Amino acid sequence: MTSTLETEPAPARAAAGGVREVRVAVIGSGFAGLCMGIALKRRGENDFVLLERAQDVGGTWRDNTYPGAACDVQSNLYSFSFALNPGWGRSYSEQPEIQAYLQRVADRFDVRRHCVFGAEVTAARWDDDARRWLVSTAAGEFRAQVLVSAAGALADPTYPAIPGLDTFAGTVMHSARWDSSHDLAGEKVAVIGTGASAIQVVPAIQPIVESIAVYQRTPAWVVPRTDHPVKPLMQRLYRSIPGLQKAIRGLLYLFREFLVIGMAKNRRFLKPVGKLAKAHLERQVRDPKLRKALTPDYTIGCKRILISNDYFPAVAAPNAELVTAGIAEVRPHSIVSRDGVERPTDTIVLATGFHVTDLPIAEKIRGRDGRSLAEVWEDGMVSNRSATVAGFPNLFLLVGPNVGVGHTSMVYMIESQVNYVDDALQTMDAEALEVLETTREAQEAYRALIAEKSQGTVWLGGGCASWYLDKHGHNTTLWPDFTFRFRKLTRKLDRENYVGIPAGAPASTPEVAA
């Protein structure tokens, strides 16, 4: 294979019939997609596109514009290591600032010109004869040697199957598809869900609505949010002494990594966090009945630990009500809970999360035997190094199986994965390989490794059901160990676990290892 260094961006090249030829096609332009594109650009690879269904970069930070949307990881850690931002306005950034950061990064590294906007992927099929991925999008057809899915786990919202929801005469909107043109002032609002989005939405809208009913299935562990504005002096110090911001980033990383000891090694170390959460609840909620309803009965860390200073006060406000009886049905102008109480409702906000263990993009990608990733994953998501799947040559997954983290910055994991994928691409170049595919033995070994590391963790034995686990009760979402061990595991391509086919060679003569 000849190198594609210093070639023109793929959008400038088109094959017969309007199919655009490209070396690498990346699905998505959020943190993961941008990171992949930047890695390619930084080593001189220009023959790639970022296929983005929307009209701008940003991914989940572009889409989640609900009131109060913000990150629950400190700004200095929730950013690219190669693009630190000395100008963060707050210690925990809000959605507009994170989106603006991603837009600046895309421009700074000249990735935007590789983006094809309005290009929602409708299908991707491996052509074994041509040894190419055929990718169909709303913006046309692409043929790529390598396909990288950076669609993300928080991309497609889930909608609950509540009887009568489709008959509701008022407004229904998911937190991830917020309608900013709809005025909630003076309305009777129902918020369904009490996860990470809900605890931001509720306090943001509670002061302006007539009433707010929060429908809770399971209470969350909530700890104080140590958020504050970043002083101009500190911003100037970050600009003049970049090493200072790097040092603070490192300290934040180490502090958050200590949580893994309690979550995955010894739960005794979670006790101080549990005491902090209980004290926070007792301090902010004086009503014993409400406090009891807001107290979880599972081990802290089993579900994602949430951070907020204003959620409990909002739920305890005079115009708020916490509903724990469950929803029996939705009527055109009301919601009826299972205890028979009917509550008049003007707007329903669905804070019901995303498709995480059943990624929608998996239904659209079909491998060598014609089966989709979703079909292959029917018994649970499986991969090698969370990045590749047997039967899907030249396909790499970012933010795929077992990459999620419940304690620290997802960007750290993304950078680790991108390094692994980029090393695979460079290996293909160095060995003149046209095809690279992991073995089934490697992914089964990785599945066993994840299962072993998951045993005894708070996620499997903490007494809760969470989106971390699939329908079989298996951990297919989280990395169940220290994140620095994941980085070590993905530092270089494990070439011995891959079959490679040189350019021009028949498919029956693979090169298993160098």
Q: Is 70 exceeded by the pLDDT of residue 13? A: no
Q: Is 50 exceeded by the pLDDT of residue 485? A: yes
Residue 186 has what pLDDT?
A: 97
Residue 357 has what pLDDT?
A: 63
- Mean pLDDT across 257-271: 93
Average pLDDT for the chain: 93
CA distance 41 to 22: 14
Q: Is 90 exceeded by the pLDDT of residue 510? A: no
Q: pLDDT confidence of 152, banded at 50, 70, 90? A: confident
Tokens 């004290």 belong to 279
Question: Are 262 and 269 within 8 A, CB to CB?
Answer: yes
Q: pLDDT confidence of 16, banded at 50, 70, 90? A: very low
Segment 371-385, tens digit of pLDDT: 999 999 998 899 999
Tally of CB atoms within 10 A around 231:
9
Q: pLDDT confidence of 83, banded at 50, 70, 90? A: very high
Residue 288 has what pLDDT?
A: 97
Model pTM above 0.85: yes
Q: Is 90 exceeded by the pLDDT of residue 462? A: no
Backbone angles phi, psi at 126, to 5 degrees: -80, 125
Map out the domains of the chain with their CATH numbers. 10-57+111-156+355-502 (3.50.50.60), 165-226+250-350 (3.50.50.60)
Question: Are 252 and 78 within 8 A, CB to CB?
Answer: no
Residue 10 has what pLDDT?
A: 42
Lookup: tokens for 444:
């089964």
The torsion angle over the Cα atoms of residues 443, 444, 446 and 447, rounded to 10 degrees, is: 120
Q: pLDDT confidence of 7, banded at 50, 70, 90? A: very low
Segment 331-372, tens digit of pLDDT: 999 999 999 999 999 999 999 987 666 678 999 999 999 999
3-state DSSP assignment of residue 35: helix
CA distance 191 to 188: 10
Q: Which amino acid is at 419?
A: N
Q: Is 60 exceeded by the pLDDT of residue 3? A: no
Q: What letter does residue 2 receive in the DSSP assignment?
A: -
How many whole angstroms from its chain centre is CA 287?
36
Strand pairing category for 347-350 and 342-344? unpaired
Residue % of the chain over a pLDDT of 90: 86
Backbone angles phi, psi at 270, to 5 degrees: -90, -15
With a CB cutoff of 8 Å and minimum separation 6, the contacts of 231 are none
- Mean pLDDT across 395-418: 95
Q: Which amino acid is at 198?
A: A
From the number of C-beta atoms within 10 Å of its C-beta (0-12, 13-18, 19+), residue 379 rates as exposed
Q: Pick left, alpha or beta for residue 283 (phi over 0 → left; psi -120 to 50 → alpha; otherwise beta).
A: alpha
Q: Is 60 exceeded by the pLDDT of residue 38? A: yes
